[in-house]
Amino acid sequence: MSRRQARQAMRPPDRDGVGASRVVLPPGPWRCVVDFISERFPAVSAADWRMRMQQGDIIDRDGQAVAPDAPYCAGTVLFYYRHLPAEPRIPFEESVLYQDDYLVVADKPHFLPVTPSGRYVQETLLVRLKRRLGIPTLTPMHRIDRETAGLVLFTIRPPTRNLYQGLFRDRSVEKIYEAIAPLRADLALPTVYRSRLIESPAFMQMQESEGAPNSETMIELLEAQDALGRYRLSPVTGRKHQLRAHMAALGMPIVGDRIYPRLLPEEGEQQDFRHPLQLLAKSIRFTDPISGRVLEFESRQRLSWPT
């Protein structure tokens, strides 16, 4: 068993789908554990930390609650459960399309993040599925943007996790997306678009740069309606925001995109759910590294033509 697997094995159970955070006590002058915790995390008052410790929110590697006056001992491993603020509810539901001993395939709605980040913890696909399925070891094989809907795959067993995640690293997964975007009469389709994508100085965006291409997408037109088309996008590579950046670079930004070609201000607590990004992770196909079977899954969702 590797060190990482050993750490995972000793982790305490999740609470409401959210795992405990781990901290190793460093050498220092603290007399009690609460003194260190209060100094390490000053956003929470010492009085609140004492209350949390009395409630059992800080535990040792044996799962025993650590008392506020517990003596400080450098090198000790502790776990603590965060108190999470109320989150805005994402009013759309995920569905589980497939589950076996090793995999879960979920169909994610628009606006729902895959993993905890920023203000979203409970309202994420990962935490929702952990609560729903009762599988604390669930881990995403890959990720799609919060704004994108469609298929997301998860592994269940830590010992086989790397086998499945390696499929994406080795580009052994065939992924197909659909998008609604403007038509370009002068662009011959199907076409393969390649470019070099790098991080932009603008927060969240990627930008194209000179140099050898590091991203590649096959673009096909499926149908047209007025000035818009429904496209099949087949990414060969998996760069951040690749499909959104490529379509925008071609003068065909995906309908509902708030990042490309122009970064719009982030919405506040009152999100407008009426105009989702019209991008869908439609299907996925790969050879299962354990069974050897070819597995193929398709989202049940459909994109919406703007009215």
Cα 233 from chain centre? 20
Same domain, 139 and 243: yes
Same domain, 230 and 192: yes
Q: What is the pLDDT along the chain (307 residues), one digit of tens a residue?
A: 445 544 454 678 887 778 788 999 999 999 999 999 999 888 888 898 999 899 889 999 888 999 988 999 999 999 988 877 778 889 999 999 999 999 999 999 999 999 988 778 889 999 999 999 999 999 999 999 999 999 999 999 999 999 999 999 999 999 999 999 999 999 999 999 999 999 998 778 999 999 999 999 999 999 999 999 999 999 999 999 999 999 999 999 999 999 999 998 876 666 889 999 999 999 999 999 999 999 999 999 999 999 8
**Torsion-angle region of residue 295: left (phi > 0), alpha (psi -120 to 50) or beta?**
beta
CA atoms of 96 and 297, how far apart (whole Å)? 11
Same domain, 70 and 100: no
Same domain, 145 and 235: yes
Q: Confirm whether 6 is domain-assigned.
A: no
Q: Confirm whether 305 is domain-assigned.
A: no
Same domain, 147 and 184: yes
Same domain, 71 and 114: no
The tokens of 29 are what? Answer: 């002058």
**pLDDT at position 108, please?**
98
**pLDDT at position 273, please?**
92
Q: Confirm whether 8 is domain-assigned.
A: no
CA atoms of 102 and 287, how far apart (whole Å)? 14
What are the pLDDT digits (tens) for 186-241?
Answer: 999 999 999 999 999 877 899 999 999 999 999 999 999 999 999 999 999 999 99
Spell 122-145 as b/e; 16+ CB within 10 A means b.
bbbbbbbbbeebebeebbbbbbbb
**pLDDT at position 295, please?**
98
**pLDDT at position 86, please?**
75
Q: Are 304 and 278 in contact (CB under 8 A)?
A: yes
What are the pLDDT digits (tens) for 55-66?
Answer: 889 999 888 999
Q: Write out the residue range of the structural domain in which residue 110 sits.
A: 95-298
Same domain, 144 and 44: no
Same domain, 168 and 257: yes
Same domain, 43 and 102: no
H/E stretch holding 46: helix 46-54
**pLDDT at position 1, please?**
45
Q: Confirm whether 11 is domain-assigned.
A: no
For the chain, what's the residue count? Answer: 307
Q: Confirm whether 90 is domain-assigned.
A: no
Same domain, 266 and 235: yes
Q: In CATH, what number is assigned to the domain containing residue 187?
A: 3.30.2350.10
* Total domain count, the chain: 2
For 17-113, strand residue ranges (E) read: 21-24, 58-60, 77-80, 95-99, 103-108
Q: Confirm whether 138 is domain-assigned.
A: yes
Q: Confirm whether 221 is domain-assigned.
A: yes
Cα 97 from chain centre? 18
Q: In CATH, what number is assigned to the domain containing residue 61?
A: 3.10.290.10
Same domain, 72 and 123: no
**pLDDT at position 286, please?**
97
Residues paired with residue 298 on neighbouring β-strands, in sequence order: 283
Q: Confirm whether 304 is domain-assigned.
A: no
Same domain, 49 and 143: no
Q: Are 264 and 252 in contact (CB under 8 A)?
A: no
Rounded-to-5 percentages of helix, strand, coil across the chain: 15, 30, 50
Q: Which of 80, 108, 127 is the last residue of a domain?
A: 80
